Amino acid sequence: MKVLFFHRNAEWLGIEYLSSVLKSAGHDTKLIFDPGSGDIEYKFKFLDNFFDISKKMVKKAKAYSPDLIAFSCLTNLYPWVSKMASLIKDEMDIPIIVGGLHPTILPEYVIKNPNIDMICLGEGEEAILELLENMQNNKSDYSIKNIWFKQNGKIIRNPMRPLIQNLDYLPFPDKDIFREYGCFSERLYVMTGRGCPYQCTYCFNSYYRKLLNTDGQPYVRRRSVENVIEELIFFKGKYNLKEIFFYDDIFTINDAWISKFCKLYKQKIRLPFKILVHPKTINEETMRLLADAGCIYVDIGIESGSEELRYKLLKRNMSNQDIINTAKILKKVKIRFCTLNMVGFPTETRQQMWKTYELNENIKPDGTIVSFFYPFPNTELADYCLKNSFLEQQDYERICNGEGGYKAGTVLRNIELQEARRLQVLIPILTKTPHFLHPLIKKIPVTNFTRIISIFFLSISRNRNIRFKESLTMFIKSHYLYFLTK
């Protein structure tokens, strides 16, 4: 059977794992990719007006003649998925399945899309394999767990299957389908586990855990060190890599695992790498091991400099002192770090927003990212916004349709919007300039020029030249490939 994946903007590990599982079972897969003119990091949206590749993508899909078309859909990608599904249905009578974050959060909403035939909730590897086997055998089985079907005008809502506990069972991700479009070259994106142990009110993980009702099975699962190292050896031999980015929600959740990993990584891989950490999972001994193994950079989620906001509203239970101690440890072991922050929370005051600046000024990170809070559907904080008039029903419906995003601004009402806009731009500048200039910088009006300066400071401090190169390369290479499509 032939499965055609559609995706936009960047390499996606979820699709790579699905493709690998299907190929291991003897099926054929292909990817149609839209670089998206930098939807997330580097935005060149004006180019979409000159390089509309939608029709070329459909032509390429028809030439492949797939048995199934599959999308993996984040919330901000839903408008594009909906558009492409409509264009495909106009030209092809092929079943379309949509999986990923958005249909998992809003299954009732997505399944009603007239151009979507099936949705997959949660993990898709076992579900899509079962679906393909049934299709191959001309078997009409509408009871596949994790998949919702449409049949004769009715929706069949199947229950969730248990999470995959043995992640070593999965084959290595099929990265070639994205490499064809220039989505990566020097940096390898890897995940060593699935799930997050925390339940922050703004995050998908808290809702997902409740949805699964795991019946005592672990929600946080991790591959063996040996399996991870084997994957790294394989891709290091296949590609000309300069660094690794471990994309786990929190890399430092098990000290014993880290100790074993660092020893083998230093022996067999010896490439610089980056990770994401949580201040409550940091200690000096573990960070020394990671630094010695090659860790050069970490991202830390601070979200807000206000302890009151973090504890009461976000359920991100860590003190300012925890964050300060983490920064001291990282500086001591000589690992650079970037903080991840948000502004524009419901109930957030100007004083609380400026505490985010003050905390960053205290710890002096190497990079600072400031985003707007975005109320993802069905999260605890989105429900709070609805109940307390920070979010109107019509705005919530826009979010369900995938409009807006944490980079685009805010859809909330009754917040300190002007101050949030200022601080999103100014904090990255303030944390990278001498303190004696801060009184002057705080008076600078927010303009397109100051936004460019803010992005510049972030880019040089986080060494984001690799991500910029990836964005530019995938745009050029993807459009060249579609130019060749007749």
Under a CB-based contact definition with an 8 Å cutoff, are residues 325 and 319 in contact?
A: no
> According to the model, what pLDDT value does residue 42 have?
45
Q: What is the DSSP letter of 191?
A: -
Work out the pLDDT band at 221, boundaries 50, 70, 90.
very high
> What pLDDT, in 10s, does the model give residues 399-419?
999 988 766 678 899 899 899
Across the beta sheet with 96-99, the strand order is 28-34, 2-8, 68-72, 96-99, 118-120, 147-151, 154-157
Return d(Cα 334, Cα 273) in angstroms, integer: 14
pLDDT at 230 over 60: yes
pLDDT at 72 over 50: yes
> According to the model, what pLDDT value does residue 114 have?
96
Residue 328: helix, strand or coil by DSSP? helix
pLDDT at 464 over 70: no
* Mean pLDDT of the chain, nearest integer: 91
pTM: 0.93
| Topology, domain 2-165 | Rossmann fold (3.40.50)
| Topology, domain 184-446 | TIM Barrel (3.20.20)
Mean pLDDT for 93-114 is 96
> According to the model, what pLDDT value does residue 443 have?
86
Report the share of the chain in percent with pLDDT over 70.
93
Under a CB-based contact definition with an 8 Å cutoff, are residues 264 and 229 in contact?
A: yes
Q: Choose between 280 and 185: higher pLDDT.
A: 280
Domain ranges of the chain: 2-165, 184-446
pLDDT at 174 over 50: yes
pLDDT at 307 over 80: yes
pLDDT at 61 over 70: yes
Return d(Cα 483, Cα 6) in angstroms, integer: 18
Mean pLDDT for 445-464 is 71
pLDDT at 299 over 60: yes
- Range in 182-186, 403-407, 455-459 with the lowest mean pLDDT: 455-459
Report the share of the chain in percent with pLDDT over 90.
74
Return d(Cα 484, Cα 481) in angstroms, integer: 5
pLDDT at 144 over 90: yes
> According to the model, what pLDDT value does residue 477 have?
80
pLDDT at 37 over 70: no
> According to the model, what pLDDT value does residue 39 have?
55
Which helix (DSSP H) or strand (DSSP E) does residue 3 occupy?
strand 2-8
Return d(Cα 84, Cα 138) in angstroms, integer: 27
> According to the model, what pLDDT value does residue 446 have?
82
Biggest CA–CA distance in the chain, Å, is 73
> What pLDDT, in 10s, does the model give residues 345-372?
999 999 999 999 999 999 999 999 999 9
pLDDT at 236 over 70: yes
> According to the model, what pLDDT value does residue 462 have?
55
DSSP 86-144: HHHHHH----EEEESHHHHH-HHHHHT-TT--EEE-S--HHHHHHHHHHHHTT------
pLDDT at 95 over 50: yes
